[in-house]
Chains A and B, each alone.
Chain A
Amino acid sequence: MEEVLRSLGLFKPEIALTAGLLLVVIVDSIGGAWRNGAVRILSIATLAVALGYAVELQVAGAQGAIFSGMLTVDPLGSFFKIILVLASLLIITAFTFRAARELHGLGQGEFHALILALTLSNLLLAGANDIVMLYLALEMVSITSYVMVAYLKGDRMSNEASLKYLLFGAVSTGGMLYGLSLLYGLTGTTSLPGIREVLATGVPGPQLALYLATLLIVVGFGFKIAAVPFHFWCPDVYQGAATPVTALLSVAPKAAGFGIAVRFFFGTFAVPVTGTWDLSGVIDWQLLLVVISVATMTLGNVAALTQNNMKRLLAYSSIAHAGYILMGIVALSDVGARSLLIYLFAYLFMNLGAFLVVTLVHLHDGTFDLRDYPGLYRRAPLLTLAMGLFMLSLIGIPPLVGFLGKLYVFGAVVNMGSGYYWYAAVGAVNAAIAGFYYLRVLKVMFIDAGNEDKPPLKLAFVDRAWLLFFAAANLLPVLFWSRIDEWARGAVVLYTGR
């Protein structure tokens, strides 16, 4: 009983989200004309409360395994929870039904309920401490995302996107499940710290089985974070889904995937010693992750060069960013974990900002095609300037947050010693390739002639305010960077007990 009460105390963000989710469903089914507004306010309130609880856990530095070791609470997990809840909150507040043309006329209740469910499952994934919970949370994230992608009923692109997402997802999580079952067979336990204890005393059973299990589990994580070669669904899904859904999918499940990957690789296959992390067992998955990371950033950036659909372009760009973020996992140190947190934090603001611009252009012009973007500077200066800021941030130009994120991940890799300098160099070359297509977007918007006959965009006041908000979020963090650095530094504490 005491255990349950203690667990519930550390489970507040998830409890808030569950309660809010149920309330949204009920209000939506009984409500009259007022229900859309009520559902929206309820969702925002729920996410705000969950955010408050997550911050509270982080500030208190709460640690411990809860619900008989199924989930774990630690500062690292709390940091991820803050990012995840913040992402959903920004999506619901900035990407409204009014601003997203694709969603006009569709039900708001289900949409908000799905976002809350996705947030809840992301939180569970970021805190999973047992392979049963890991699998359940991963599948819950996946299934909610399939439904969200298919939200545009009767739209063939949305339907096809969700079908592809579902088939890729089902296969990769199925493969991962097979790997998890092998891991259970080898170690005799489903708890992640328990698995670490067994592996620390040497690999039981045939070595090959452990390699196979690790490889299959990497497939599952790779799918969630859209790493090459498990990225094929990504551009299609991003293009087919409604833009707010795309924006959410590009940040939240990715962040949760990185959260569980850190927990799994750092906490299960490695033991944190002060500063560095000792690899227990004999698996050289570091090399595997280096290969995946290099392939991911290179393919993402090269494929993005030829895209004309903005959503596809941002999809490939998000694949490339997953490659950079993987650098933080490869580094396998406190510095690496910190750089990963900071990069995700930066990525949240620059990517959502870019998607907001894409949404607003679609609202007014009804196009996602880059070839329809010329002349936007004349028609909507504020929007274009904001987009310029987001693109420069995505390239990694100082002093924007994107630069700080890249600085940290490259720094973490360089810290590993001269054997990894080439890896950092590959990252830098990739950043240069990425600069080409991001700047191409800017060139089209600022310089290219066209659309002279079209009137200026009449942006609503809130949309202008949100553009300014995201611009500020990209521009200002550098001013109080020491605080953010300290915050991330303090967050790299992984609870590794049972």
Chain B
Amino acid sequence: MIGLSHYLIVSAALLSLGILGLLTRRNAVNVLMSIELILNSANVNLVAFSRFGAGNLDGQVFAVFVIVVAAAEVAVALAIVLTMYRLRRTPNLDDADILRG
């Protein structure tokens, strides 16, 4: 029988993978995908808690909102990454280093 803990393990794994990707990837698009993993790990949590624990639909409604926000965020992020590519001809985040000090 699949229970709450199974979902929590999946979500923790997704979160860890997301953070791992953030720390190791240098390509901006890969980093954005890692951020999506983090957001979706929280979504799995919300839906699982809503189904097994809380006994109300608040969590599932929250998850729908998170999906919308994630789409909006990625739209802005991709625009910024595209601009970066146009200005520097590279999607590599390590090359964005003129602001320091």
Contact = CB atoms under 8 A, between A and B. Distances in A.
Interface of A: 131-132, 135-136, 139, 142-143, 146-147, 150, 153-154, 156-157, 159-164, 166-167, 170-171, 174-175, 177-178, 180-182, 184-185, 188-190, 235-236, 239-240, 307, 309, 312
B49 A185 contact: yes
Given A135-B66, A136-B65, A180-B42, A163 B96 contact: yes
Q: Which of B28, B48, B69 has most A Cβ within 10 Å?
A: B69
Contacts of B99: 157, 160-161, 164, 235-236, 239-240
A159 B35 contact: no
Q: Which of B54, B55, B100 has most A Cβ within 10 Å?
A: B54
B81 A171 contact: no
Given A143-B76, A162-B80, A166-B80, A184 B62 contact: yes
A143 B72 contact: yes
10 contacts: A142-B73, A143-B73, A156-B88, A163-B93, A170-B73, A184-B54, A184-B62, A188-B56, A235-B99, A309-B101
A162 B80 CA distance: 7
A369 to B, nearest CB: 12
A302 B18 CA distance: 34
B22 A171 contact: yes
Nearest to B18: A174
Nearest to A160: B96
Interface of B: 15, 18, 22, 28, 31-32, 35, 38-39, 41-43, 45-46, 48-50, 53-56, 58-59, 61-62, 65-66, 69, 72-73, 76-77, 79-81, 83-84, 87-88, 93, 96-101
Contacts of B54: 184-185, 188-189
B6 to A, nearest CB: 14
A190 B58 contact: yes
B73 A190 contact: no
A188 B55 contact: yes
A189 to B, nearest CB: 7
Contacts of A235: 99, 101
A385 B72 CA distance: 45
Contacts, number: 121
A312 B74 CA distance: 28
Contacts of B76: 143, 146-147, 166
B49 A178 contact: no
A159 B91 CA distance: 13
Nearest to A303: B101
Contact of B45 (A135, A156, A181, A312): A181
Given A135-B69, A164-B99, A184-B62, 18 more contacts: A132-B62, A136-B65, A146-B77, A150-B83, A153-B83, A164-B96, A167-B93, A174-B38, A174-B39, A175-B38, A177-B66, A180-B42, A185-B48, A185-B53, A185-B59, A188-B49, A190-B58, A307-B101
Contacts of A157: 98-99
Nearest to A156: B87
Contacts of A161: 99
